[in-house]
Amino acid sequence: MTHALRRVDFQLLAVVLLLCIIGAVAIYSCTRSETRPISRLTMQIAYIIVGMAAMFSMMLVDTGRLRNLAWPIYLVVMGLLVLVLMMGAIRDTNRWIPLGPVNLQPSELAKLAVIIMLGAVVARLEEEKWDFLFLVKTLGYIALPALLILVQPDLGTPIVLFFIWMAMMFVLGASPIHIAAFALAGVMLFAGAWGFGLIKPHQRARLTSFMNPDDAPLDAAYHLRQSLIAVGAGHLWGQGLFHGAQSQADFIPDQHTDFIFTVIAEELGFVGAFSVLVLFGLLLYRGLCICAYSPTTFDRVVAGGIVAMLLIQVYVNVAMTIGLAPVKGMALPFLSYGGSSLLVNMMAMGILQSIHMRREQIVF
């Protein structure tokens, strides 16, 4: 174990810590005027400490043992997804389980649970013929959590789960034609859900305001318009930390969670925003390197799934703040305020570190 600890990917660790620090500063900047018994900065620091403990704990877990725990982890998370539907609604949705001063969001846990489960399944079935039926079998493992999350209602997380599945199958060598066929089927299902009125009114409003922002009602496009004003006001160097006109006046809704990137862009400008994207680029690069040199099929697939999970979340969150994607309640990894997302992403980093630390233990 001591030898393994010497093999920690310190570049990955440094990037994660730096992103957490930037996020904490940005959260303090846009929430310091709030009157709360416990400040959001204090809570975020507590979340970071708990997340770091979870990350180091996962680093000590051998991935072979993690593979054996795939089914228990998957079933526990499915149970939480059922339980959350029985809880009282918070902000008109059933997404959180109250745990004293904090709320647990099972849909965040589902992302990592699905990655681990799919990794265990494909590692067991890797000798089967790679055909369309094989992909259908693996897709079934994301169907149940996706349906439970849709009922909450949450449209974005099932899309994330589907993207993670496609990336993991691609890492395993599935035919791009087959993957493209499933992607097309997903688009057709969404179109059908839209036509039959299964998409909630607020979700329709977000999509239509994204496609036609100039013609959208003021309330439907409010998030996007305020975000674009703030990002544009940042210019090259920003308006200065703690001096963002939009963020300090609280014009940007959910600016400490979903729109934390807007705060960074306004106060630190293009330079600050681009620096954050560079850090995410380094994070994804290290993840891809770990995936490429993973010693087992399970390790390779899980590493690929974690990279895909981070990639889609970063893209959607940043893109929606600048009008390149519909507004979606999705946290920016390591930067947004909240415990569930941070905990899951920290645990994912611990799994990547575990794979990296043990990559040369296999003797050929």
Q: Is residue 4 part of a domain?
A: no
**Which phi and psi (to 5°) does residue 90 adopt?**
-120, 120
Question: What is the helix, strand, coil percentage profile of the chain, to 5?
Answer: 70, 0, 30
Q: Is residue 30 part of a domain?
A: yes
Q: CA-to-CA distance for 305 and 303, rounded, in angstroms?
A: 5
Tens-of-pLDDT digits for all 364 residues of the chain?
555 566 889 999 999 999 999 999 999 999 988 877 788 999 999 999 999 999 999 999 999 999 999 999 999 999 999 999 887 666 666 788 888 778 889 999 999 999 999 999 988 876 565 667 888 888 889 989 999 998 888 888 888 999 999 999 888 877 788 888 888 888 888 777 767 666 666 666 666 666 666 655 555 577 788 888 889 998 999 999 999 888 888 888 889 999 999 999 999 999 999 999 999 999 999 999 999 998 888 999 999 999 999 999 999 999 989 888 888 878 999 999 988 999 999 999 999 999 998 776 543 3
Instruction: Please name the residues in contact with 343: beta carbons below 8 A apart, sequence gap of 6 or more.
Output: 47, 50, 51, 54, 108
Q: Which residue has the tokens 């409003």?
A: 205
Write down the pLDDT at residue 96.
84
Burial class of residue 33 in the structure, from the number of CB atoms within 10 Å of its CB (0-12 exposed, 13-18 middle, 19+ buried): exposed
Q: Is residue 9 part of a domain?
A: no
Q: Calculate helix-pair angle for 156-172, 297-321, nearest 10 degrees.
A: 140
Q: CA-to-CA distance for 314 and 287, rounded, in angstroms?
A: 14
Q: Is residue 73 part of a domain?
A: yes
Q: Is residue 330 part of a domain?
A: yes
| Mode of pairing for the β-strands spanning 97-99 and 102-104 | antiparallel
Q: Is residue 54 part of a domain?
A: yes
| Structural domain total, the chain | 1
Write down the pLDDT at residue 289.
94
Write down the pLDDT at residue 251.
84
How would you label 152-184 residue by residue, b for 16+ Cβ within 10 Å and e otherwise? bebbbbbbbbbbbbbbbbebbebeeebbeebee
Which H or E run includes 102?
strand 102-104
Residue 217: cis peptide before it, omega within 30 degrees of 0: no
Q: Is residue 5 part of a domain?
A: no
- For residue 219, the enclosing domain spans 14-357
SS (H, E, C) 183-234: HHHHHHHHHHHHHCCCCCHHHHHHHHHHHCCCCCCCCCCHHHHHHHHHHHHH
Residue 336 DSSP code: S
